[in-house]
Chain A
């Protein structure tokens, strides 16, 4: 027993070394990509602003200023983005919207990541009839009109943020599972997996310690592209009035409110819409950059 675990430890160390050089290479290439670097800076700024939201403005996000309803941006009262239809400060509300959107994006993506990666790796690793069955199930799920289910869920079970995470995560794991399965199929025939088998490592341990770390490249790329997709879907649901509830807000809600009064108060549409677009831009550029950086063909 001691002998086999020593052997697998040794294997793990070798693999770690190889992995590091691959990741270092990718990182240099990523940092040479100007669009990706700029996007990371932009995202960093937006995320920091979202976290520090209560300290960046003198106004609380749910305070109603009756004397300043739908006021255009003004610096005297520190309403940098103006106020909304209820006289609430739009700058703070946009940042609170950023909190919700980023949180939903990251959490739902994590849910999809955990389900998708485990499912795909297990299916690919076990192969044969189980793989066939598991992937048929994914095919069936693919043809469900998911957006409709999500809308239905929101309408039925109320506007619960937690439910949005789960619903979106449950939708987004399918593609992840397919990608991971494909990668697993090629990785599991490599020599180091065979060596792990020979070293007596259990199947579970092989999947989590040897296979999953080696399929992470495409997974990370797809993850960066899933986050904007989830943020978009959440905004879409909120736009329809089915997402987060007052007085909390999200970019979708703010955009919907702004769209209604865009003739009289264009700032109510423009600020939240630019934040959303900027974030989606940034994630897409980072995703593209990562894909190029991790693409073995270009090396």
Chain B
């Protein structure tokens, strides 16, 4: 398993390299630069500014410098947020993004699996249809619609929770963004769990477990649920990516100082290094989490072995 993990990590290096290269040249192909503003700088000063950030060098040299820096873990300085390096900005924004995303995915796993299993055990009953109807709503109502609706109901009409803002990380400020992030994932996970659970409940090994005289509880929890979780686990890779990109929207709707907001602002301002930094950071995160999911898969499914 260790060798497998190592091999996956080695394969990740060219992937990251591709990401960096595409993103770098894509950004540079754009019209405009980080120092275009309404105020026209005197030519001498502009030249100095460009030279300071190596922007006067030919593109390929800038590229090599940037990749060289990355290899040493240096994301470079932000072009627009003065006196901050990209690494500092990411470190300052990540806790907020991580808390929202982390809580949301944990909630989604817990609630999604419970709802899905619950519906599967009462297949074709009213409960089943109700749960699946709600799940379909979670899929069809995107989080950027859900977020304003939640704010309208709980923030404005009922005035129970703050409408937006981070409030230094107060719990009240996290409730709505977390719900908006978690709902679509709860819906997907519930549907997946129900589907595979229905299939597993008819499998031979479940019949054997029943024949052995195990209690229904043990049959469900220890035998069927464990088998039914496989598709859910493999969904967790894309789910993390979904939460990460979802948080870009949620952060800008609720005005949360996370990394997602930096990305959009950075792209709009042509802050080359900041955009690249956030992208590389998220790419690494997604690759690592996908690897984790695959390893977890091997733990759950005795048929999967990595050598």
Contact = CB atoms under 8 A, between A and B. Distances in A.
Interface of A: 140, 143-145, 147-149, 151-153, 155-157, 228, 232, 235-236, 239-240, 252, 255-256, 258-259, 262-263, 266, 269, 273, 276-278, 280-281, 284-285
A214 B64 CA distance: 48
B283 A144 contact: yes
B142 A152 contact: no
Given A140-B15, A143-B286, A148-B282, A263 B152 contact: yes
A235 B18 CA distance: 28
A263 B279 contact: no
A151 B30 CA distance: 13
A269 B141 CA distance: 13
Contacts of A266: 152
B253 interface: yes
Interface of B: 12, 14-15, 18-19, 22-23, 26-27, 29-30, 136-137, 139-142, 144-145, 147-149, 151-152, 156, 241, 244-245, 248-249, 252-253, 263-264, 267-268, 275, 278-279, 282-283, 286-287, 290
A152 B275 contact: yes
A266 B137 CA distance: 20
A156 B30 contact: yes
Grouping DSSP codes into helix (H, G, I), strand (E, B) and loop, the A interface class, with mixed when no group exceeds half, is helix
B248 to A, nearest CB: 7
22 contacts: A140-B18, A143-B290, A145-B19, A145-B282, A148-B278, A149-B23, A151-B248, A152-B279, A156-B26, A156-B267, A157-B30, A235-B142, A236-B142, A258-B148, A259-B147, A259-B148, A269-B152, A273-B141, A277-B137, A277-B145, A280-B141, A284-B140
A255 B144 contact: yes
Given A147-B248, A148-B245, A255-B144, 20 more contacts: A143-B12, A144-B18, A145-B244, A147-B245, A148-B282, A151-B248, A151-B263, A151-B264, A152-B26, A155-B267, A156-B26, A156-B27, A156-B29, A228-B140, A232-B142, A236-B144, A258-B148, A276-B142, A280-B139, A281-B137
A240 B252 contact: yes
Contacts of B149: 269, 273
B15 A149 contact: no
B210 to A, nearest CB: 23
Given A152-B23, A152-B275, A240-B264, A273 B249 contact: no
Contacts of B275: 152
Which of B148, B151, B249 has the most A CB atoms < 10 Å from its CB?
Answer: B148
Nearest to B26: A152
A253 to B, nearest CB: 11
A287 to B, nearest CB: 11
Contacts of A263: 152, 156
A152 B27 contact: yes
Nearest to A148: B279
Contacts of A232: 142
Contacts of A255: 144-145, 148
A86 B256 CA distance: 29
A40 to B, nearest CB: 16
A262 B147 CA distance: 12
A56 to B, nearest CB: 24
Contacts of B264: 151, 240
Contact of B140 (A236, A240, A280): A280
Contacts of A259: 144, 147-148, 253
B241 A281 contact: no
A263 B152 CA distance: 7
A147 B244 CA distance: 10
A153 B26 contact: yes
Contacts of A151: 248, 263-264, 267
Which of B140, B241, B286, B290 has the most A CB atoms < 10 Å from its CB?
Answer: B140
B142 A143 contact: no
A245 to B, nearest CB: 15
B140 A262 contact: no
B242 to A, nearest CB: 9
B26 A149 contact: yes
A258 B253 CA distance: 13
A262 B152 contact: yes
B140 A281 contact: yes
A144 B17 CA distance: 11
Contacts of A144: 15, 18-19, 22, 283
Contacts of B249: 236, 239-240
A258 B156 CA distance: 15
Contact of B136 (A145, A235, A252, A281): A281
Nearest to A288: B136
A143 to B, nearest CB: 5
B263 to A, nearest CB: 7
A139 to B, nearest CB: 8
